[in-house]
A and B are shown apart, each in its own frame.
Chain A
Amino acid sequence: MEVKQKQHEGMVKTCHRKKMFVSILCVLLALIFVSGRLVYVMVLRSSYYLEKAEKLHERERDIKALRGQIYDRNGVVVASNKTVCTVSVIHSQITQPEEVIAMLVSELGITEETARKRVEKVSSIERVKTNVDKETGDRIRAYNYAGVKVDEDYKRFYPYSTLASKVLGFTGSDNQGIVGLEAKYDSYLAGTPGQILTLTDAWGVELKNGSEERDEPEKGNDLYISIDYNIQSYAQQLAEKTLTQKGAKSVSIIVMNPQNGEILAMTNAPEYDLNNPYELTDNLLESQLETSKMDLLNNMWRNFCINDTYEPGSIFKMVTATAALETGVVTLNDQYTCGGSTTVADRRIRCHKTTGHGTQTFTQTVMNSCNPAFIEWGRRVGTERFFEYMGKLGLLDKTGVDIAGEATTIIHKQENVGEVELATMSFGQSFQITPLQMLRAASAIVNGGNLVTPHFAVKTVDGTGSTAMEFNYEIQSGAIEEKTSEMMRDILRQVVEEGGGNKAYIEGFSIGGKTATSQKLPRSAGKYISSFIGFSSVDNPQVIAMCIIDEPQGVYYGGTIAAPVIKELFENILPYLEIGSN
């Protein structure tokens, strides 16, 4: 019995040993199984999960790139950057709230109520004021109050505030160009923003000693433009002065090199303050209160010389004369007798001199700006060739100037042009072009027949100071013949010396030009645009300038009010440019 029991026990024991062995085998197998699963997740799927995890942990923060500066042709900075500060408070870190409030009030000039609201607001970070100048920011930092944060940032800064505002344009809150050259050359000026990659915990708090990847921002390239600071500021002063004197709506002056299209100055008075582009200028505030502010602002930023069209009036007679001479339908000695008016298809068109100019040579008809004579010259040219010459002189196309929003020519379809239309077009009416188109055509007429592309940008310069990009502009040569150009220069010289443009004559300087007085539509309103184009020297034109006075009060003849403006301009810039003295 006892033996049996022992045998039984022994049998049971081996059985338990075996079972335990099976158990540990199963467990080891299971451990190998889960290890296999680990290998799968940690080796085969590792890159997938790693990427997902990194995306989860990383926060990107942009670092603004410094925007490139804009220089005039002589290296004067016309658009730059300045350091501004943003003052914020972090509620949880503030230890001396009353002192902080008092400091904010005295330094930032805000009311105590506002300061208290910001300081006592329970938020992670509360912005108190942006665009605080650097000195104030430094002073606030010097207080060393816990929970007050001063962040530095860059802001576009225009040292001459209104200088060439409608050319340069300005930038928005993210430092992106909005209008003008700032918009056109934004991709060059903007630079490449940098990035900070930081690791954060689940609550988005940046880790103090987490590895930080930093992509340095790349400063934008500097832009050199053809504007000459001295000429621009003088032209601008002159335009502002004329605007006030004549009580005009606006006064524009363009100064260009007719040989290559470089624009030395372009002003549209009134200009606006580029550092406060959203503040309306006074005369806009007075007008139309009903229009929305945005419309008024867009109007304020508008560059009339490029964005708007007008009827060029008598200045356009340069084009008609050129076409007539080059097609050979007239010679310089052809004569026309003006009786004060002429009849075209039953319509009587009057000359501005109602008593008539009498018998004139071709040259004299230009000097007198005689409308009936030009109706005759236009008639001789004929519609087809008239359009052909407008095309050759670039008046049917955009100029290609490097500012966005260029307006296009408004003109009758060629097939719809009858006798009356041709007659009015001959002296610059019943179609519209931009002032810059007119100036470009005039340039081609006086420079020997080369159609230039008016432009501002010359080159970009990168951070190392070397030229990154040189801008080249098309010059279409042979628009008209050199011979014709020479004749036209001589005629236009006579216009200034003895004709309608004599108020632009400067003793000792070689100047040519043409005046215009265009009646605005509707004709019954009695509003005028007075303009004048002058160039120097006559033999080798290096500068061409245009003045347009929109809606002058009182005397409105171009020869009387616009020509003296160009005279005054030339008196100053011709010696400066060393051009045109005899």
Chain B
Amino acid sequence: MDRGKKKAVKRYFDYSLLFVTIFIAGFGLIMIYSTSSYTAQMKYGSAEYYFKKQLIFMILGFAAMYITYRIDYHIWHRFAVPIFVAALLLILALIPFGSEANGATRWIRFGGIGIQPADVSKLAVIIMVSSAVCSFGVKLKKFRYVILICIMTAGVQAGLIYVISNNMSSALIVLAIAFVQTFVAYPGYKIYIFLCSLLAAGVAAIYAWITSMLKSGKMTENFRLNRLLVWLNPENYATGKGFQTVQALYAIGSGGLFGKGLGKSLQKLGYIPESQNDMIFSIICEELGLFGAICVIMIFGLMLWRIAHVAQNAPDLFGTLLVAGVFAHIAVQVVLNIAVVTNFIPNTGVSLPFISYGGSSEVILLAEVGMVLNVSSKIRLES
């Protein structure tokens, strides 16, 4: 009977998600080579310097993906707290061991490999929120428990990230992940509509205040305000804080409809510093044009749609929330990254998932996709 039952149950596996992931990661590798080869040649005497490192990270990432795919996702429920604590300790480890770059401490180096604790933190929050929601069960019908979960999990991590590594963007992403997960878990809409309206109103108010201040010329020197001023008029700060933004806009604007062709970007020749990092999307625009850029966005859309599909059909709430967390992680970073690169929102360091150069984020993201694939494999197809 046992055998018969096993034969009757058809297990699902989301091949589309796997292939989309492989495609994006491969495409990212090509873009890393394209963007970094010239400067790598100048700096390290080897055009493949970044490419080779990213290739190793990608192999590690796919290995991680395979492992998380093979591990039954329910195990994460049991290890939620240890992982969460480990992530916190990793952030705290930045204080003695962190290496500083551009006024922010974001990296811990083990030999030649750098780890961003913020990346680990994102995974930890995804697991912890899912686990907490399941533990709270029906209590969650009360919104104050939602707030409690958010503060206890994402709030703590985001706070530490912000305070210790001065990394506002990662902190916001961590909060956004928890927000989306609890949104999926909580049965009501009204409170979210209210919160979103409040947020929109707040942003609008700040925008109006800034522009009116700008007109009246009563601007005071303030770091955060400065960032907003640069955002409004990047070309007035083209040699200073607006440099990166302006250079990215030059790259995007000079792409046109079909771009200059793969490898033919000029902005990557030192005009955009470290163009293989957060600003890589601007080089994609320059080389592949609007057409290529929209294709990349559509592929991300396809990936997110597949992940959402898995979330909707996950066998239990824990699976749904786990996948919803991964969904939120990728979606928020993609949208924020493109919005930053096109100067739609003020400049803040957000990398483009699977494409931007960076070891720990590549490994973590692929591991997360592995988790999603594991959840997908638990979906029962009823004939």
Which of A's residues lie within 8 Å of B, judged by CB? 8, 12-13, 15-17, 19-24, 27-28, 30-31, 34-35, 37-39, 41-43, 45-46, 48-50, 52-54, 56-57, 199, 201-203, 207
In the assembled complex, how far is the CB of residue A479 from the closest CB belonging to chain B, in whole angstroms? Answer: 68
Known: A53-B266, A56-B271. A23 touches B251 (CB 8 A): no
A49 contact from B138, B254, B271, B334, Cβ within 8 A:
B254
Stretch at the interface among B115-123, B201-209, B297-305: B297-305
Cβ–Cβ < 8 Å partners of A46 in chain B: 253-256
Instruction: Check if B170 is an interface residue, CB within 8 A of chain A.
Output: no
Instruction: Check if B270 is an interface residue, CB within 8 A of chain A.
Output: yes
Contacts A27-B327, A38-B294 aside, 10 further interface pairs with beta carbons under 8 A come to A16-B320, A20-B311, A21-B312, A23-B180, A23-B184, A38-B252, A38-B297, A42-B290, A57-B266, A203-B270
A22 to B311, CA, bound (A): 12
B297 contact from A24, A34, A202, A203, Cβ within 8 A:
A34
A31 contact from B186, B252, B269, B335, Cβ within 8 A:
B335
Judge whether B183 and A23 touch: CB under 8 Å. Answer: yes
Judge whether A52 and B250 touch: CB under 8 Å. Answer: yes
A12 to B216, CA, bound (A): 53
A66 to B250, CA, bound (A): 38
Judge whether A207 and B269 touch: CB under 8 Å. Answer: yes
A50 to B267, CA, bound (A): 11
Judge whether B334 and A42 touch: CB under 8 Å. Answer: no
29 contacts between A and B (CB under 8 A): A8-B138, A12-B187, A12-B317, A16-B317, A17-B312, A20-B308, A21-B312, A27-B331, A30-B331, A31-B300, A31-B301, A35-B297, A37-B339, A38-B285, A39-B290, A41-B252, A41-B253, A42-B257, A42-B289, A42-B290, A45-B253, A49-B254, A50-B253, A52-B253, A53-B251, A53-B254, A57-B266, A201-B38, A207-B269
Cβ–Cβ < 8 Å partners of B185 in chain A: 16, 19
Cβ–Cβ < 8 Å partners of B165 in chain A: none
In the assembled complex, how far is the CB of residue B238 from the closest CB belonging to chain A, in whole angstroms? Answer: 9
Instruction: Check if B342 is an interface residue, CB within 8 A of chain A.
Output: yes
Known: A27-B304, A42-B285. A53 touches B269 (CB 8 A): no
A28 to B305, CA, bound (A): 9
Cβ-closest chain B residue relative to A57: B266
The 4 A-B pairs of least Cβ separation, nearest first, read: A49-B253, A202-B270, A201-B269, A53-B250
In the assembled complex, how far is the CB of residue B280 from the closest CB belonging to chain A, in whole angstroms? Answer: 15
Judge whether B266 and A19 touch: CB under 8 Å. Answer: no
Cβ–Cβ < 8 Å partners of B178 in chain A: none
Judge whether B256 and A42 touch: CB under 8 Å. Answer: yes
Judge whether B256 and A50 touch: CB under 8 Å. Answer: yes
In the assembled complex, how far is the CB of residue A378 from the closest CB belonging to chain B, in whole angstroms? Answer: 77
B312 contact from A12, A16, A37, A202, Cβ within 8 A:
A16
Which of B's residues lie within 8 Å of A, judged by CB? 38, 138, 180, 183-187, 189, 249-257, 266-267, 269-271, 285, 289-290, 293-294, 297, 300-301, 304-305, 308, 311-312, 317, 320, 324, 327-328, 331, 334-335, 338-339, 342, 344
In the assembled complex, how far is the CB of residue A395 from the closest CB belonging to chain B, in whole angstroms? Answer: 64
Cβ-closest chain B residue relative to A202: B270
A199 to B265, CA, bound (A): 12
Judge whether A43 and B183 touch: CB under 8 Å. Answer: no
Cβ–Cβ < 8 Å partners of B285 in chain A: 38, 42
Q: Which of A19, A22, A37, A46 has the most CB of B within 10 A?
A: A19
A42 contact from B255, B320, B327, Cβ within 8 A:
B255
Cβ–Cβ < 8 Å partners of B189 in chain A: 22
Cβ-closest chain A residue relative to B331: A27
Cβ–Cβ < 8 Å partners of A202 in chain B: 269-271
Judge whether B256 and A34 touch: CB under 8 Å. Answer: no
Cβ–Cβ < 8 Å partners of B254 in chain A: 46, 49-50, 53-54
Judge whether B270 and A42 touch: CB under 8 Å. Answer: no
A24 to B303, CA, bound (A): 11
In the assembled complex, how far is the CB of residue B301 from the closest CB belonging to chain A, in whole angstroms? Answer: 5
Cβ–Cβ < 8 Å partners of A41 in chain B: 249, 252-253, 342
A214 to B38, CA, bound (A): 25
Cβ–Cβ < 8 Å partners of A39 in chain B: 290
Cβ–Cβ < 8 Å partners of A48 in chain B: 253
In the assembled complex, how far is the CB of residue B377 from the closest CB belonging to chain A, in whole angstroms? Answer: 19
Known: A38-B294, A38-B338. A20 touches B344 (CB 8 A): no
Cβ–Cβ < 8 Å partners of A13 in chain B: 317
B344 contact from A37, A50, A54, A57, Cβ within 8 A:
A37
A50 to B255, CA, bound (A): 8
Judge whether A30 and B317 touch: CB under 8 Å. Answer: no
Q: Which of B269, B293, B328 has the most CB of A within 10 A?
A: B269
Known: A39-B290, A50-B253. A30 touches B312 (CB 8 A): no
A480 to B257, CA, bound (A): 79
Judge whether A30 and B183 touch: CB under 8 Å. Answer: no
In the assembled complex, how far is the CB of residue B141 from the closest CB belonging to chain A, in whole angstroms? Answer: 10
A37 to B281, CA, bound (A): 13
A199 to B335, CA, bound (A): 33
Cβ-closest chain B residue relative to A30: B335
A37 to B249, CA, bound (A): 12
Cβ–Cβ < 8 Å partners of A23 in chain B: 180, 183-184, 308, 324, 327-328, 331
In the assembled complex, how far is the CB of residue B174 from the closest CB belonging to chain A, in whole angstroms? Answer: 17
Cβ–Cβ < 8 Å partners of A52 in chain B: 250, 253
Cβ-closest chain B residue relative to A28: B301
A23 to B320, CA, bound (A): 13
Q: Which of B294, B317, B342 has the most CB of A within 10 A?
A: B342
A42 to B301, CA, bound (A): 20
B253 contact from A22, A31, A34, A53, Cβ within 8 A:
A53
Cβ-closest chain B residue relative to A200: B269
A16 to B250, CA, bound (A): 43
Cβ-closest chain A residue relative to B293: A38
In the assembled complex, how far is the CB of residue B262 from the closest CB belonging to chain A, in whole angstroms? Answer: 15
In the assembled complex, how far is the CB of residue A22 from the closest CB belonging to chain B, in whole angstroms? Answer: 8
A48 to B256, CA, bound (A): 11
Cβ–Cβ < 8 Å partners of A37 in chain B: 338-339, 342, 344
A203 to B43, CA, bound (A): 13
Cβ–Cβ < 8 Å partners of A24 in chain B: 304-305, 308, 327
Judge whether B317 and A34 touch: CB under 8 Å. Answer: no
Cβ–Cβ < 8 Å partners of B308 in chain A: 20-21, 23-24, 27
Cβ–Cβ < 8 Å partners of A21 in chain B: 308, 312
Judge whether A34 and B301 touch: CB under 8 Å. Answer: no
Cβ-closest chain A residue relative to B38: A201
A13 to B316, CA, bound (A): 8
Cβ–Cβ < 8 Å partners of A38 in chain B: 252, 285, 290, 293-294, 297, 338, 342
B252 contact from A12, A20, A42, A57, Cβ within 8 A:
A42
Q: Which of A13, A21, A207 has the most CB of B within 10 A?
A: A13
